[in-house]
Structure 1
């Protein structure tokens, strides 16, 4: 059976509904998203594979998910470093940053140096709302992600990919293929172009909401907030 996906427009409407009739706050949704990402990282890259995790955060909600994931990874015993060059002035993001600072999680503005001394990368730069061109300072960052041999876990979408059509035909991100993708709430159409390990993090979604937006809530195991599902080029 083909994996059901939701468009970027539907994903935005779903988030809005979750924060209205669904009763969730944006803080809760970001916490659940970041927790899901941290658990996926733990599954694919347990601490014995290397504790140094570089979390690259964009200026929006995707970056906020990355900040939350970094906090949880720190508590799991990893040594996260956060690259967050365009810090939001929004109070929520400032609080997430403060939580990391209180844990002595380092922030860096030097992505190449951080990349040279890490074991795994979390790509939390752009999510399902991304469109248009990649703006500074991120073109060089995404190019570095394309070129590195290190494993990368992308949050909801590989950064620079079109949510409907996948990687750009040319230019920045056209050869970016992360090892792992964590689809938040529900998969987006770009997954048909993805060939790595695919996790879904949406255990909090009520069946009535999933029915309304026509996607499946997979069977989660135990206390896990993520579940691994097959991808087009990868059967489990």
Structure 2
């Protein structure tokens, strides 16, 4: 007797879809309202997948010291909270994260993510190191979890103008969450930062079409009906991994 699962995801025959900022927001709203995912649940899924992507792009075996140092720079909104969760999981994966979180909000859920990191003894910086300090091996990796799709360009106000100016100067490897800060989610990079790694959430955004670095997609959890409705054409995910390298 042949046994089939209730949800079978066929191998896509059409090209992977790159979402506009508006389409990405519609999918997220449907996950929250129609599929009853919790906001905290989604952030936890994304943050764990981001940490998983970092371990694939920068495996422990590639570093001379046992625990490579990771600077996670978090913005005030959702992308920043994904960065907080990513930092917590990196700590579990035996990396040594430090967080710079300059503009915190009163959102109690984001405060909970902060507390979780503090309880795991992850240090928080009160200032961003200069590009000279960053270049001089203070950190092995920088994670940009600043703006994501929450801003079209991301350079409207401090402290983010200064942060992006610094990040454009650093030479150590950088990974961005969903949309590199300073980029327009719907367009190719103009003069923003240049990460070596991009971790797209749910589905890649239009700005990522020309991305030439390592590109990971964290979208395996998406219900098949959503994949079909929005013609996402997600690739096959290997084994039991929560993400796939595009």
> Shared topology, TM-score over 0.5?
yes
Q: Could you tell me whether the CA contact under 8 Å between 2:15 and 2:233 is conserved in 1?
A: no
TM-score of the superposed pair, with normalisation by structure 2: 0.87
Partner of 1:141: 163
Verify: 1:228 aligned to 2:241, yes or no. Answer: no
Q: 1:71 to 1:108 in 2, by over 3 A?
A: same
The answer for unaligned runs of 5 or more in structure 2 is 1-13
The answer for unaligned runs of 5 or more in structure 1 is 169-173, 230-236
Question: How many residues align structurally?
Answer: 224
1:162-191 Cα shifts (integer Å, max 9, x gaps): 0111223xxxxx052100000100011001
1:17-166 equivalences under 5 Å are 17-50=30-63, 51-112=68-129, 115=134, 116=136, 117-134=138-155, 135-166=157-188
Q: Could you tell me whether the CA contact under 8 Å between 2:176 and 2:199 is conserved in 1?
A: yes
Question: RMSD in angstroms over aligned alpha carbons?
Answer: 1.5
* SS of structure 1 residue aligned to 2:199: strand
1:107-142 Cα shifts (integer Å, max 9, x gaps): 002212573510001100011131255121111211
CA distance in 2, matches of 1:22, 1:6: 20
Q: Could you tell me whether the CA contact under 8 Å between 2:183 and 2:192 is conserved in 1?
A: no
Q: Which has the larger radius of gyration?
A: 2
Report which stretch shifted further, 120-129 or 214-223. 214-223
* SS of structure 1 residue aligned to 2:70: strand
